[in-house]
Amino acid sequence: MLGAIEAGGTKFVCSVGTEAGEMIERIQILTEFPEKTIPQVIDFFRKYQIDALGIGSFGPLDLNDQSDTYGYITSTPKPGWVNFPFIETMRKAVNVPIAFDTDVNAAVWGEFLFGAGKGLGSCLYMTVGTGIGAGAVVDGKVLHGLSHPEMGHILLRRHPQDEFEGICPYHLDCLEGLAAGPAIAKRWGKEGARLSESHPAWEMEAHYLAQALLQYVFILSPQKMIVGGGVMKQPHILPRIHREMERLSKGFLTLPPLENYVVPPGLGDDSGIVGALMLAKKLLVEKNVKNNM
């Protein structure tokens, strides 16, 4: 039995499941201060005998296992979670091997194994919700390097009609600062879910997301790009992104038909939690291989 946590800015999803990716139970817990949220998380796993735990967490995270703060959430603007020792806290509670990565890295791993990226060698998963982030699988492995990518914070060209200053606490008008859910709400004075389909917000939103996705193509060239998150619940936004990518890439990039190339998640809202479960499985498999050597 495997355990998984998808730690988001709004809610934690906790689940136990099988190595085949089947979920046996799952719950949601509101993301409040760690002192309030984490005990509920631990309680959930107490009921089960898990062999490994996979965590996909909001970040930034310290993923460098040589570092003193390995396994920490580091500089998040989320109150209470700065320097939260996630691995350490969970290890004390469950005492099993723990796989730890970003929420979007977990999600792309889930989509790669069972979702829209199944059967490919590479793919990218982007979420457009309270924040914007993306993770990638390259050649069958989750992309890491110096650290995890920070694809939500790239700088884009401003839309000519956009005078909004942006709300990223680090950069103001990076991608996340201009195009995540809260940026839409602040710019137009209304939540995205309450803006009509013909509202100019959506062409602007599509412009930013298309630009970002094209940067990912230029730099990473993934075989498929999967876009999820709350803002993508607007049914007209994906076709708008396709049109805008078409316009912006014209005559240069040869891309597959965009409706097959930039797609919604195959696992719906479960990419992250399924991916976290599969990160736990991967860790177990690697440990077994090592033990048998």
Positions touching ligand ADP (CB under 6 A) are: 8-10, 127, 129-131, 181-182, 185, 191-193, 229-231, 233-234
CA distances from 281 to 4, 57, 200, 209, 265 (A): 10, 17, 45, 33, 21
Among 61, 174, 195, 267, binds Zn ion (CB under 5 A): 174
Which of 184/214 has CB closer to ligand ADP?
184
Q: Does 33 bind Zn ion (CB under 5 A)?
A: no
Taking the least distance from each CB to Zn ion, the nearer of 187 and 281 is 187
Give the separation between CA 214 and CA 139, rounded to whole angstroms.
20
Query: 165 to 184, contacts with its own copies by CB under 8 A?
Result: 170-171
Give 41-103 as a DSSP string.
HHHHHHTS--SEEEEEE-S-B---TTSTTTTEE-S-SSTT-TTEEHHHHHHHHH-S-EEEEEH
Q: In the range 240-259, which residues lie near its own copies by CB under 8 A?
A: 251-256
Is the CB of 174 or the CB of 267 nearer to Zn ion? Answer: 174
Burial of 194 (0-12, 13-18, 19+ CB in 10 A): exposed
Minimum CB–partner distance for residue 281 and Zn ion (Å)? 33
CB of 19 or CB of 150, closer to its own copies: 150
Question: Which residues on neighbouring strands pair with residue 55, listed in sequence order?
Answer: 5, 100
Among 27, 42, 185, 220, binds its own copies (CB under 8 A): 220
Distance CA 134, CA 129 (A): 11
User: What residues line the site for its own copies (CB under 8 A)?
Assistant: 75, 121-122, 138-139, 141, 143-151, 153-158, 170-171, 211, 214-223, 251-256
